[in-house]
């Protein structure tokens, strides 16, 4: 019998990563971890069946550290999750906006609420390791002159009140998460592949690499470059291909790429995200919707 799905996530209960994990599988047991590295280790050491990490946000851009961790660990991507993110300014019960002298949150959350934060005069903005962790710190420390940017669920978990809701710069604020596991997923057919590759440092090398996909009409959803440690001005590229790894065209393209690329690695082939409303029972859909933040 299949064991209970346990999803490792970075942060405290109430974190957006926890909400994404529960959106992926409402019946899963969430497992909080202090760092992204700890999430990968938990899956590697089989303390968790799956791990979930944010990879990009429609406002803040790429979470680059997680690309590095995907490359360092032999843990395939088995799914993705899109989570609409609503940021709130939360504080202890009775604290008013004019009492706030410091605002704590994760750097990504702070970046996503830049316009709102600029409007707060004489308030110190402090980067912290986690959104929900910032809410917990304010609750535990009974801090009457501070607030955190966190989800409404984090406010509920730690008994805080919401001073302002929806303070992100853009209404369409969505974070894309990747699910990693040593276990293959049975639901959904793969139609997306994430790869890492390097190219020789010579004119036209990247153009040549990308042409292997163009020639076969394979759409590329994302292309990201990362410096190669110890090799100044040389880069690794990460790409999302809108095709399954086993698709004949995609398989041929990757073989073609490997003929001249020093490194080609498939990080995972998985189903692209579908909103929960498109399938599953009404109860499951309600459960998934309830876990949105």
Pairwise CA distance, residues 283 & 288, whole Å: 9
Pairwise CA distance, residues 215 & 257, whole Å: 12
Pairwise CA distance, residues 42 & 8, whole Å: 7
The answer to whether the CB of 230 falls within 8 A of the CB of 236 is no
Query: Catalytic annotation on 177?
Result: yes
Q: Pick the catalytic residue from 9, 40, 158, 177.
A: 177
Query: H/E element holding 257?
Result: helix 248-258
Pairwise CA distance, residues 240 & 80, whole Å: 12
Pairwise CA distance, residues 200 & 206, whole Å: 8
Pairwise CA distance, residues 136 & 154, whole Å: 8
Give the number of other Cβ atoms within 10 Å of residue 273's Cβ: 18
Q: Pick the catalytic residue from 36, 131, 158, 175.
A: 175
Query: Catalytic annotation on 116?
Result: no
Residues designated catalytic: 175, 177
């Amino acid at each position: 019998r299949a064991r209970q799905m346990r999803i490792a996530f970075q942060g405290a209960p109430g974190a957006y990563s926890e909400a994404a994990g529960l959106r992926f599988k409402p019946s899963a047991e969430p497992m909080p971890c202090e760092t992204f590295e700890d999430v990968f280790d938990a899956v590697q050491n089989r303390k968790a069946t799956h791990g979930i990490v944010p990879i990009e946000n429609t406002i803040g851009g790429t979470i680059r550290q997680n690309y590095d961790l995907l490359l360092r660990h032999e843990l395939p991507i088995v799914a993705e999750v899109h989570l609409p993110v609503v940021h709130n300014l939360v504080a202890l019960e009775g604290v008013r906006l004019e009492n706030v002298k410091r605002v704590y949150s994760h750097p990504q959350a702070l970046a996503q609420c830049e316009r709102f934060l600029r409007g707060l005069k004489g308030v110190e903005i402090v980067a912290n390791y986690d959104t929900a962790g910032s809410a917990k710190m304010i609750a535990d420390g009974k801090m009457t002159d501070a607030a955190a940017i966190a989800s409404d669920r984090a406010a509920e978990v730690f008994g805080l009140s919401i001073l302002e809701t929806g303070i992100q710069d853009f209404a369409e604020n969505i974070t894309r998460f990747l699910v990693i596991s040593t276990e293959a997923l049975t639901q959904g057919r793969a139609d997306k592949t994430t790869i890492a590759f390097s190219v020789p440092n010579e004119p036209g090398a990247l153009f040549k690499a990308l042409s292997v996909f163009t020639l076969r009409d394979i759409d590329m959803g994302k292309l990201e470059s990362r410096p190669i440690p110890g090799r100044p001005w040389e880069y690794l590229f990460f790409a999302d291909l809108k095709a399954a790894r086993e698709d004949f065209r995609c398989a041929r393209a990757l073989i073609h790429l490997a003929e001249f690329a020093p490194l080609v690695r498939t990080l995972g082939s998985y189903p692209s995200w579908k909103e929960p409303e498109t399938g599953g029972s009404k109860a499951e859909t309600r459960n998934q919707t309830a876990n949105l933040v």
